[in-house]
Homo-oligomer: A and B are copies of this chain.
């Protein structure tokens, strides 16, 4: 008689390995496939992310087409094609038909795809909901024809199942196209492929993107930059945030003979000198074989690695968008909104989180046709990918919501939550390893280091906004004052003169005395041959002024600009030019023009104007020269100062109140 199975045996007999594909098939909500709308977006997103990553690795300007067509009730065909390097025939099945397979997971550098899950997940979902295989076309430069494979995923094994394999003559040198039929639903709106591609265009201004909607509508985002971003370099991990188990693993796996040799070689930010310091602090002599260090010595080593001051991680592994392109990307898609203000974009230096470098960038746009009675729009990006779902669960949102925007001039109920106003915030987090809250990569998880940087970057942008708002108020105030003066004074003068029977006096000196500002105003005009920025400087102060004017442009724009008058000097690297203006008597004006060849992507907000020789309280429409600019004062200014012509910062002058208020707010802020 066979022995009866005990309970423990019974239970043990049910233990089984779970394939990662089975796991995700059942948990498709984790991958972003839990309803037809989200499934479509996730599919498009994974396809486009891969396309952009591939193009960047091949250093080509990406040309990505997304076509969405009806393919039955509740069913769409989605295809994404690119002009990337293509995929070798032998790798196609694994890349598209196997979860947790890829080239970017083990590389410590920024990329969109990092998990080796995305596109295979879309293939899995397509097979599950339409029972149709994915069709992949890919051609590499060195072969004549493209390979066309149809494949499914064997869920139980997590392995590709190729159902057809053919060749095709394809009219491009290299590239990849993937076609999927899946249960999905198309509609425009906040979480649509339309919105996703718009966001992608903002943070990838070097990409050309085409979307064909199911009704045949074609939407193209042209590239606004011809520079492929540099391919981020792989870097070793940084010791800050490293865990004990990881260190133990690295020591054991290392090929180095001694600790002294290993530390600078296999960790970022560790100079030979810092290595010595670490070893001394840990009570090690450095001649230890890495594999022999464990237990207490291992803990001391890690403690010392965390305690010693190390170089920050190199930015080489990251691919920030940069201030110039953030602004240009925003302008490219915000054309119809015509914002009144683009804050200078913020691009923070890299920091470390859990051994991985990361950085934060922020762009802020204000005014124009942006709705003023709604919360500001928040555009979240992670490694140049727009995040459209899970806004509420995202560390980026949390950082925006916990900042007190009322201090920066925006309405915010109770000092937390999204502020209200005609604003748009772009926040980009870039890292060699981003902590997403799930595999769908829709939200960034909370992290103290990340949160600190997010807050700092947001504060910088918010301060620019505050300056703008206060300047706008000041200008409006000055304009109002000016209008009143010009309307009332002549009448008063006429009446007074009539009464005493004397001629009406020249009012200019009185008007300038009352106004007491230097007004800088730029107007833009475009004709078939040129784009012209004309800046007029008018001296509404009661004194003659000898001033120095500075302009700062994106460096590549400076190279294409012609100036009138010719600047006294330029700094091509920083994109600056400067002039000593002719002496301006009260009420006198002068003009500086900057011209670009027609077709140049430029507008007035690209140029920042600065004036030296007058203090901030009397300056409208330009900024005082920042203290940290290393500019030799031109001779003319010095001479003029010696001749007592320019303003010697007279102590008797009345300061304007709103200015003081702003200054005190700034001090409070900088703490």
Chain A residues at the B interface, C-beta cutoff of 8 Å: 6-9, 11-12, 14-20, 22-23, 26-27, 29-30, 34-35, 54, 57-58, 85-88, 90-91, 94-95, 98, 100-103, 105-107, 115-116, 127-131, 140-142, 155, 174, 183, 243-249, 294, 298, 390, 392-393, 433, 435-439, 445-448
Min C-beta distance of A132 to chain B, whole Å: 9
Q: Does A439 contact B30, Cβ atoms closer than 8 Å?
A: yes
Closest to A294 in B: B131
CB-CB under 8 A from A95, the residues of chain B are 15
Contact call B86/A245, Cβ cutoff below 8 A: no
Which listed residue, B11, B88, B174, touches A12 by the CB 8 Å rule?
B88
Q: Are A18 and B102 in contact (CB under 8 A)?
A: yes
Known: A437-B438, A438-B438. A246 touches B9 (CB 8 A): no
- Bound together, the chains give a CA A141 to CA B86 distance in angstroms of 59
Q: Which residues of chain B are within 8 angstroms of A35 by Cβ–Cβ distance?
A: 446, 448
Given known contacts A94-B15, A248-B131, A105 and B243 CB-to-CB distance under 8 angstroms: no
Please indicate the chain B residues that have their CB under 8 angstroms from the CB of A129 in the complex: 243-245
Given contacts A100-B19, A183-B243, contact A8 B131 (CB under 8 A): no
A239 to chain B, nearest CB (A): 15
Q: A433 — nearest CB in chain B belongs to which residue? A: B26
Whose C-beta in chain B lies nearest to the C-beta of A356? B26
Question: Do A34 and B447 contact each other (CB < 8 Å), given the known contacts A7-B58, A102-B15, A435-B27?
Answer: yes
A-B contact list, 16 entries, CB within 8 Å: A6-B141, A7-B140, A8-B86, A9-B88, A12-B87, A16-B106, A17-B101, A18-B101, A20-B20, A23-B116, A27-B436, A29-B436, A29-B445, A30-B438, A183-B243, A437-B437
Chain B residues closer than 8 Å to A298, beta-carbon distance: 131
Contact of A392 among B14, B27, B30, B393 (CB under 8 A): B393
Contact partner of A446 (CB less than 8 A), chosen from B34, B102, B448, is: B34
Q: Are A142 and B435 in contact (CB under 8 A)?
A: no
New A-B pairs, 12, CB < 8 Å, besides A23-B115, A131-B244: A6-B140, A7-B57, A11-B58, A16-B101, A17-B100, A26-B105, A27-B436, A34-B445, A35-B448, A128-B246, A130-B245, A393-B393
Chain B residues with CB under 8 A of A247: 131
List of B residues within 8 angstroms of A98 by Cβ? 17
Give the CA-CA distance A130 to B448 in the complex, in Å. Answer: 21
Contact residues in B for A106 (Cβ distance below 8 Å): 14, 16, 18
A327 to chain B, nearest CB (A): 32
Q: Tell me the nearest residue of chain B to A438, going by C-beta.
A: B438
How many angstroms from the CA of A582 to the CA of B29 in the assembled complex? 63
- CB contacts (< 8 Å) of A86 on chain B: these are 8
Query: Chain B nearest CB: distance from A653 CB in Å?
Result: 50
- The distance from the CB of A243 to the nearest CB of chain B, in whole angstroms, is 5
Chain B residues closer than 8 Å to A15, beta-carbon distance = 91, 94-95, 101-103
In the bound assembly, the distance between CA atoms of A29 and B34 in angstroms comes to 21
Expressed in whole angstroms, the minimum distance between the Cβ of A304 and any Cβ of chain B is 14
Cα–Cα, bound, A9→B98 (Å):
19
Q: Which residue of B lies closest to A92 (CB)?
A: B12
A11-B85, A103-B14 known; A436-B30 Cβ under 8 A:
yes
Distance to closest chain B CB from A232 (angstroms): 14
With both beta carbons as reference points, the residue of chain B lying nearest to A114 in the complex is identified as B26
- Is A128 in contact with B14, judged by CB distance below 8 angstroms? no
Instruction: For the complex of A and B, list the 8 residue pairs with the smallest distance between their C-beta atoms, beginning with the closest.
Output: A128-B245, A14-B103, A8-B140, A438-B438, A393-B393, A29-B445, A18-B100, A12-B88
A408, B141: Cα distance in complex, Å = 68
Contact residues in B for A54 (Cβ distance below 8 Å): 11
Q: Which of A27, A87, A128, A390 has most chain B Cβ within 10 Å?
A: A27
Shortest Cβ gap from A90 to chain B (Å):
7
Select from chain B the residue with minimum beta-carbon distance to A248. B131
Q: Could you tell me the distance between the alpha carbons of A433 and B29 in the complex, rounded to whole angstroms?
A: 12
A439 surroundings in chain B (CB, below 8 A): 27, 30, 438
Distance to closest chain B CB from A153 (angstroms): 10
- In the bound complex, CA of A30 to CA of B19 (Å): 18
Cα distance, A16 to B12, chains bound together (Å): 33
Interface pair B88/A128, CB less than 8 Å apart: no
Give CA–CA (A141, B6) in the complex, Å.
9
**Bound CA span A352–B437, Å:** 27
Q: For residue A113, give the distance in angstroms from its CB to the closest CB of chain B.
A: 12
Residues of chain B within 8 A of A85, CB atoms compared: 7-8, 11
B residues in contact with A19, CB < 8 Å: 100
Distance between Cα atoms of A105 and B16 in the complex (Å): 9
- Are B100 and A11 interface neighbours, CB within 8 A? no
A536 to chain B, nearest CB (A): 50
CB distance from A62 to the nearest CB of B (A): 15
A18 interface neighbour in B14, B16, B90, B116, Cβ under 8 Å: B116
Cα-based distance from A34 to B241 in the complex (angstroms):
12
Contacts of A155 in B (CB 8 A): 249
Contact A107 B14 (CB under 8 A): yes
Cβ-closest chain B residue relative to A249: B155
- In the bound complex, what is the Cα–Cα distance between A185 and B597 (angstroms)? 63
